[in-house]
Amino acid sequence: MSSKVRIFTTPGCGYCSQAKQFLTEKGVEFEAFDVSSDKDAMQEMRKMTGGARSVPVIAVCDKVLIGFDRTELENALKCLE
């Protein structure tokens, strides 16, 4: 079964690192995609967001979050409980 949380990132993105660390600290399993080297992931991310190029993009259940906002991500993760 695929992960319910997917995060689209680039190397050197501080907010991406913070988001992954936050998910890890919360014990949330996630699948990470590097959109700088994975063209399919880049296309998927842009399709989900209507063409956004900003990272991180975090897909949680049926929500798509652009950027890293702890409160917003914490609220989105409630769908996993």
The tens digit of pLDDT for each residue in 53-71 reads 899 999 999 899 999 999 9
Find the CATH number of the domain harbouring 76: 3.40.30.10
Closest Cα to residue 6, out of 25, 36, 29? Answer: 29
pTM assigned to the model: 0.93
pLDDT, greater one: 81 or 49: 49
On the question of pLDDT at 14 being above 80, the answer is yes
Q: How many domains does the chain have?
A: 1
**% residues pLDDT > 90 (the chain):** 89
On the question of pLDDT at 1 being above 80, the answer is no
The pLDDT confidence band at residue 52, using thresholds 50, 70 and 90, is confident
Q: Which domain holds residue 15?
A: 5-80
